[in-house]
Amino acid sequence: MTHLSDAQFYDRLAPVPDFARLADPACFARVPNDWVLGTADIVDSTGEIACGRYKTVNMVGAAVISAMTNAMGGRAFPFVFGGDGAGFAVPPEHEATARDTLAALRRWAEEELSIELRAALVTVERVRRAGHDLLVARHAASPGVDYAMFSGGGLAWAETAMKAGSSLVPPASPGVQPDLTGLSCRWSNARACNGMILSLVAEPAPGAPVGSFQRVARHITALSEGLSRAGHPLPEAGPPITWPPPGLTLDAHVSRKGGNLMLHRARLLGQNLLIWLLFRTGIRLGRFEPDHYARAVSQNADFRKMDDGLKMTLDCDDATRARIEAALEEARAAGLIRYGLHVQDEAMVTCFVPSAMTDDHVHFVDGAAGGYARAAAAMRG
Q: Tell me what the mean pLDDT of segment 332-338 comes to.
A: 98
* DSSP code at position 235: -
Segment 123-131 mean pLDDT: 98
272-297 confidence digits (pLDDT tens):
999 999 999 999 999 899 999 999 99
| Residues 86-103, mean pLDDT to the nearest whole number | 98
Confidence of residue 5 (pLDDT cuts 50, 70, 90): very low
What mean pLDDT do residues 318-337 have? Answer: 98
Radius of gyration of the chain (CA): 20
Average pLDDT over residues 122-131: 98
Buried b (16+ CB within 10 A) or exposed e, 290-323: beebbbbbbbbbbbbbbbbbbbbbbbbbeebbeb
As a whole number, mean pLDDT of residues 340-344 equals 98
Q: Cα–Cα distances in Å, from 333 out to 217, 337, 372?
A: 16, 8, 22
Rounded to 5 degrees, what are φ and ψ at 253? Answer: -60, -40
Averaged pLDDT for residues 60-86: 96
What is d(CA 163, CA 114) in angstroms, rounded to the nearest whole number? 19
- pLDDT value of position 4: 47
Listed in sequence order, the residues at least 6 apart from 45 whose beta carbon sits closer than 8 Å to its beta carbon are 57, 83, 84, 85, 373
Residue 276: C-alpha distances to residues 243, 244, 267, 307 (Å): 6, 9, 14, 35
* Cβ partners under 8 Å of residue 236, min gap 6: 229, 295, 298
Least confident of 6-10, 234-238, 376-380: 6-10
Phi first, then psi: give them for residue 12, nearest 5 degrees: -90, -5
Mean pLDDT of the chain: 95
Phi, psi of 202 (to 5 degrees): -140, 145
CA–CA dist 351, 117 (Å, integer): 20
Q: What is the rounded distance in angstroms from the CA atom of residue 229 to the CA atom of residue 231? A: 5
The answer on pLDDT for 1 being more than 90 is no
Which residues are within 8 A (CB) of 157 and not within 5 positions of it... i.e. 6 or more apart? 127, 130, 132
> What pLDDT score does 167 carry?
96
- Phi first, then psi: give them for residue 199, nearest 5 degrees: -95, 130
Taking only the tens place, the pLDDT of each residue in 129-179 is 999 999 999 999 999 999 999 999 999 999 999 999 999 999 999 999 999
* pLDDT above 50 for 124: yes
Q: What is the pLDDT of residue 185?
A: 85
Q: Which pLDDT score is estimated for 8? A: 84
Q: How far is CA 123 from CA 36, 97, 132, in A?
A: 4, 14, 12
Q: What are phi and psi of 70, to 5 degrees?
A: -65, -40
**For residue 266, pLDDT beyond 50:** yes
What pLDDT is attached to residue 358? Answer: 92
CA distance 363 to 81: 10
CA distances (Å), origin 58, targets 109, 243, 313: 12, 21, 14
Average pLDDT over residues 36-40: 99
Q: What are the φ/ψ torsions at residue 305 (nearest 5 degrees)?
A: -160, 160
- Give the C-alpha distances (Å, rounded to integers) separating 243 from 187, 234, 236, 279: 10, 19, 21, 11
Contact 123, 37 (CB under 8 A): yes
Tell whether the model's pLDDT for residue 3 goes beyond 60. no
